[in-house]
Amino acid sequence: MKVIVCNTYDELSMEAAKIMAATIKEKPDGVLGLATGSTPIGMYDNLIEMYKKGELDFGNIKTFNLDEYYPLSADNDQSYHYFMNKQLFSQINVKEENIHILDGLAENPEKECEDFEKLIDENGGIDIQVLGIGQNGHIGFNEPDEKLYANTHLTDLTENTIKANSRFFEKESDVPTKALTMGMGTILKSKKIIILANGKAKHKVVSELVQPMITTNNPATFLNAHADVTLICDKEAFEG
């Protein structure tokens, strides 16, 4: 795993945006795997800036998002659909039909997950996947457990995640207890992966991630089995 340690969040956001931009320029009809959470917001801001300056074109880019709460409608302001529209899609020229986010109200979640998985393959696979990391090491919503799932699936959120994500909701009881998420295999099939981590709260899981080992107690460590992963973090996440 390549590691880039930055002094500030702004620097981290620029490093991540540069890698994304290089991929988009190299393959203007490529497939981006995108993430939510607070960490990638700065990177999205930089990409929007580059687009506005005419440096980037998203006209033929396809996107697949990692996860979505379940059950939650796309127009709910806590949904990841809503987040992505607000933070990125509404400000660039990506085509509506090229945006793929799991349907948080899918009547048949199993079929929704299967179709999503197929669609990624039909589009030639993900060229670059952006990841954040949960305080417990989750990527997407692949939570620490005895078993991890390979494919896109419906999952229960852990107490830790519900608590950590409650900051975006009015009260903790409003946080959905389930989510649809790409599986570990879906993520690991991506050709290139960048994982972003910012702040002291991520230090424990980041220090495990940079060890040459894999454990289901910290799902992000599975990235150590991938040939092209870059961790971009700030000093606090790296050093504690």
Residues catalogued as catalytic:
67, 136, 138, 143
- Closer Cβ to ligand GLP, 161 or 190, answer by number: 161
Q: Is 221 in the site for ligand GLP (CB under 6 A)?
A: no
Size of the site for ligand GLP (CB under 6 A): 14
Residue spans of alpha helices (H) in 53-158:
80-87, 109-122
Count helices and strands (H / E) in the chain. Answer: 8, 10
**How far is 62 from 28, CA to CA, in rounded Å?**
9
* Touching ligand GLP, residues 136-155 (CB under 6 A): 140-141
Q: Please, what is the minimum distance in Å from the beta carbon of residue 92 to ligand GLP?
A: 20
Candidate residues 13, 78, 136, 161; the one interacting with ligand GLP per rule CB under 6 A: 161
CA–CA–CA angle 199, 43, 88 (5° rounding): 125
CA 168 to chain CA centroid, Å, is 17
Q: Is 67 in the site for ligand GLP (CB under 6 A)?
A: yes
Name the nearest CA neighbour of 129 among 38, 62, 202.
62
Tell me if 150 sits within 8 A of 185, measured CB to CB: yes
The one segment of 7-15, 29-37, 51-59, 212-220 that binds ligand GLP by CB under 6 A:
29-37
Candidate residues 30, 33, 37, 137; the one interacting with ligand GLP per rule CB under 6 A: 37
Q: Is 234 in the site for ligand GLP (CB under 6 A)?
A: no
**How far is 196 from 15, CA to CA, in rounded Å?**
10
In the complex, the residues that contact ligand GLP under the rule CB under 6 A are 35-39, 66-67, 132-134, 140-141, 161, 165
